[in-house]
Amino acid sequence: MTDTAAPAAPAARPSPVRRAAGFWASLPLSGRVGLALVVFWVAAAIVGPFLAPYEVGAIVAPDVFEGSSAAHLLGSDYLGRDVLSRVLSGARYTVGLALAAAVLASTIGTALALTAAVSGRWVDEALSRLMDAMISIPSKVLALVMVAAFGSSIPLLLLIAAATYVPGAYRIGRSLAVNLNEMDYVQAARARGEGRFYLARVEVLPNMINPMLADFGLRFVFVVLLLSGLSFLGLGVQPPNADLGSLVRENTSGLGDGALAVLMPALSIATLTIGVNLLIDALPGRARRVQGEP
Amino acid sequence: MVDHVRVSGLKVTAPGDDDRPVTIVHDVSFSIPKGEVLALIGESGSGKTTIALALMGYARGGCRIAEGSIEVAGTDVLALNAAQLGAYRGATVAYVAQSAAASFNPSRTIMDQVTEPATIHGLLSRADAEAKAVELFRALALPDPDTIGRRYPHQVSGGQLQRLMAAMALITDPALVILDEPTTALDVTTQIEALRVFKKVVAERGATAVYVSHDLAVVAQMADRIVVLRHGEVRETGLTDQVLHAPQDAYTQTLMAAARPQVRTAAAAEATAAPTPLLEVRGVTASYGRVPVLQDVSLSIARGSTLGVIGESGSGKSTLARVVAGLLPPSAGTVLLDGAALPPALARRSREQLRRVQIVFQNADTALNPAHSVERILGRPLELYHGLKGEARERRVAELLDLIRLPAALASRRAGELSGGQKQRINLARALAAEPDLILCDEVTSALDTVVAAAILDLMAELRRGLGVSFMFISHDISTVRAICDEIVVLYAGRKVQAGGREAFSAPPFHPYTDLLVGSVPEMRRGWLEETAVREARKAAPTVAPGLCGFLDRCPVRIQGVCDRLPPPRVRLAGSEVLCHRSEEDLSTRPSLGQRTSRPSPAPST
């Protein structure tokens, strides 16, 4: 969101590095941990595959479910493939796909919610009933049908995951926006003669952004679970490629031995989702602290 | 006589920045003899509620009672442990909160909740407690005392709920009752009844009470002694008469001066007999869904003058402002600006029409977007209506801040960081930024402390003189309206029951409802409450029979066979017009007030 009408700062705008440092300093400890984890996983998703020591699908270890060694830092999986390489390439799918799907779902949901709130009753009714209809379709069954009809592909998975979580984001966004829409300051802006787009963007959105971000963190975890579920059914990311969810699934037989092959992808999912949520939870607190300063 | 309640050297701290405690109550000491009522008065933030809560051994989240001692009926409150405090609260000391509506549990019956303090402490059996509750209901003049306990909180009115809360507090015969602004949220006509029964019950039971309020006139009726607080410090302590009529402290004197509305009309405002009034409302009827809120209301505002609109909550006064502003299209009637009809719906009005009529909402906390800076809030109308950008806009924002007497440095602050008075000024400045011809002010001072409200009213009077802006001033407070408005309209149940110049509202003939309003405003002297005749506590639901007088059920001078049969005619009287069957002669004697004839006289000046 660009803040075009931000108060003109008397001094020149600080450099991006300065601002990033300021942002870091303003975060509580949990937020810094979250930010570090998120930055780490985004970096892993971007440059990971180039750093991977082995081909993703290559069987390179002499034994399955090996422990950590110099050649294979995170051991080997159920076929003797290198776990580190597979986690690094899996991160690209999970972070890319799940993050993209969650961003898409939350953005579309919020945009539709704002539209419904500031438009008339008919638009609101139509959108809400459409979303109710979408909620009533079981997401896994829809995914099965879509994959069966079109074959599994990354864009299709993205579309399915986003479509599944738009209604939830819409519901939450609409209830927030409808309440905010009745606030006196929105009425004042309306009486001033502002357009609908302005009302939604400038008056309503800034006041619902924090709960929507918290909701986004939740959606992100849901999408990771949905994609992992699809992979479990063999309909997600197709072998030999694998997202983190399918890495856990394909190595479950090593669970009894506590193999790194199953623990590391699980740990990766955990750190990623916890990191996203820690960071988001710290954001509203940050707003409060800035407000509290004289 | 031994003091029943003794507080000495009380100090309460709250967590401040960098976790260093900030003292919010400094070394407060007072004592109350048994059976007396002590009032704590001060503006918001003066620590009056904090002190009242400390008497219960309670400090709000993060706060701490750091020093001092509190003794209530021989109990050293600060030495009690958690279990002993549990036994102490409710039994020895009881609390009546400002908002009874927020303090009752909506899912349990009133009887359950009123008897709870007695049964939870094992003081009375359930049956005894119920018998006692009914007795209290009767003493508190509640309707149907035998059966009201079976109702749920939403089934009684706000004034009744406040009295039920007093019953809840008194059921254990506590050694000390704390009343924290118990009538602030009520309409004047309801407040007077609540005050009367509170006073009667406190006197009958010989209860010792602490009455917390910001309203001097109310305190004058209730208290034997007054403690004046400011910034957590005692400024003055004394008997009620002494504090009211011979205040020693400079701050108390300011408070007294602010509480007396001074006449603030612009110097004759040169109404210059312009042929067309600035705003004319002709026969407007409006409703929310099927519920009619305004019926056939007509009024006009001359250029540069102020029109006051008064009435109790639910009378339709805010709706009138919304209709004029275009937020609620009326179902009948027209609104004319400078003789030209305004389109009823907002979307059809031109930007210029919107600019000329600005609305200022009642609650500045919700009227300013908490996510925006002051610069942005004030800058937006400048940009929208006057096309100001960049430096020109910044300069104008600084000018506006100067106009409302706020420092220019405030421009970068967010709305949430301002005090109540500052917010209300910004709220007003946003309307001024449009350079309107008419500003609709909806209860702009009712949420503010007296001193701050007086400053806002002064500011408005200055703006009228300086800029020639017209105001529609909506309020439930007839003394404020009488002080600042040129013309006054009284609404009741969506109908205009009286309209006239300010002079017409300082002496009868009044419409019976205006009479009730005028007679219900507490005067700042003791004994006023006793002199004012008791009115029948009738159900406050306005009559809905179409066409008939809405005030019928509450009217003390209704004529059987006429008022309940025929719609009231609009009669011209000296200086005003009223909607009533009664003759001017009848209305001139103010029959509803019985023996009372004295006019609200200005109290001795300080």
Contact A249, A232 (CB under 8 A): yes
| Contact indicator for B97, B49 with CB cutoff of 8 Å | no
Q: Tell me the pLDDT tens digit for each residue of B60-97.
A: 777 888 889 999 988 898 888 889 998 898 888 999 98
- Res B7: pLDDT: 92
What number of residues does chain B have? 606
Q: How far apart are CA B39 and CA B240, in angstroms?
A: 9
* Angstrom distance (rounded) from CA B364 to CA B35: 40
pLDDT of residue A185: 92
CB contact under 8 A, B434 and A192: yes
Mean pLDDT estimate for chain B: 84
Average pLDDT estimate for B537-566: 69
Confidence tier at B545 by pLDDT (50, 70, 90): low
Q: Do B412 and A193 touch (CB under 8 A)?
A: no
Cα B261 off chain centre by:
15
The nearest CA of chain B is from the CA of A185 a distance in Å of 4
- Compare B266 and B557 and report the one with higher pLDDT: B557
From residue B586, alpha-carbon distances to B295, B492, B581, B582, B594 in Å are: 26, 20, 10, 6, 13
Best CA proximity match to B50, nearest among B36, B37, B65:
B65
> Is it the case that residue B546 has pLDDT exceeding 70?
no
Query: Residue B99 pLDDT more than 50?
Result: yes
Most confident option among A217-221, B103-107, B203-207:
B103-107
What is each CA distance from B424 to A250, B46, B428, in whole angstroms?
Answer: 64, 20, 6
Question: B460 in helix, strand or coil?
Answer: helix
- Give chain A positions within 8 Å (CB) of B359: 188, 191
* pLDDT given for residue B437 in this prediction: 92
Would the CB atoms of B351 and A193 count as touching at under 8 Å? yes
Does residue B542 carry a pLDDT above 70? Answer: no
Say how far apart CA B133 and CA B113 lie, in whole Å.
Answer: 10
Pairing of strands B209-213, B176-180: parallel
**CA dist B440 to A221, B265, B473, Å?**
50, 17, 6
Residue holding tokens 């005028």? B518
Residue of A nearest to B410 (CA): A294
Q: What is the pLDDT of residues B447-495, one digit of tens each?
A: 777 777 888 888 888 888 888 889 999 988 888 888 888 899 999 888 8
A184 contact B CB<8A: yes
Question: Residue B524 phi/psi, 5° resolution?
Answer: -85, 60
pLDDT at B274: 60
Which residue has 């809400």 as its token pair?
A: A128
The reply to whether A291 touches chain B by the CB within 8 Å rule is yes
Summary count for chain B: helices (H), strands (E): 21, 22
Q: Which residues of B fall within a CB distance of 8 Å from A183? A: 366
Q: Are B357 and B340 in contact (CB under 8 A)?
A: no
Question: What percent of chain B is predicted at pLDDT more than 90?
Answer: 27
> Which stretches of chain A drop beneath a pLDDT of 70?
1-14, 232, 284-294
Q: Residue B538, class by beta-carbon neighbours within 10 Å (0-12 exposed, 13-18 middle, 19+ buried)?
A: exposed
Q: What is the pLDDT of residue B535?
A: 56
pLDDT classification of B594: cutoffs 50, 70, 90: very low
The tens digit of pLDDT for each residue in B416-456 reads: 788 778 888 899 899 989 989 999 998 888 777 777 788 88
* Cross-strand partners of B566: none
Q: Count of A–B CB contacts within 8 Å? A: 65
Residue range B382-387: mean pLDDT, rounded:
91
Instruction: Please tell me if residue B282 touches chain A, with a CB cutoff of 8 Å.
Output: no
* ipTM associated with this complex: 0.74
CA distance from start to end of chain A: 25
CA B567 to chain centroid, in Å, comes to 32
> In 3D, which of A22, A81, A88 has the Cα closest to residue A52?
A88
pLDDT band at residue B139, thresholds of 50, 70 and 90? confident
User: Which of A118, A121, A176, A184 to mutate against chain B (most B CBs within 10 Å)?
Assistant: A184
Does B327 contact chain A (CB < 8 Å)? yes
For the segment B255-279, the average pLDDT, to the nearest whole number, is 67
Average pLDDT over residues B305-327: 89
B370 contact residues in A (CB cutoff 8 A)? 207
Q: Does B153 score more than 80 pLDDT?
A: yes
- Measured distance CA(B573)–CA(B576) in Å, rounded: 5
Length of chain A: 294
Least confident of A10-24, A264-278, B244-258, B517-531: A10-24
Other C-beta atoms closer than 10 Å to the C-beta of A287 total 16
Nearest CA distance, B355 vs chain A (angstrom):
7
Instruction: Kindly list the residues from chain A whose CB atom is less than 8 angstroms away from the CB atom of residue B372.
Output: 202, 206
Across B109-138, average pLDDT: 91
The verdict on B197 touching A (C-beta cutoff 8 Å) is no
The pairing of beta strand B64-72 with beta strand B37-41: unpaired
pLDDT at B2: 66
B517 at A interface, C-beta within 8 A: no
Choice among B8-22, B127-141, B318-332 with the minimum mean pLDDT: B8-22
Residue from the list B359, B366, B411 with its beta carbon closest to the beta carbon of A7: B411
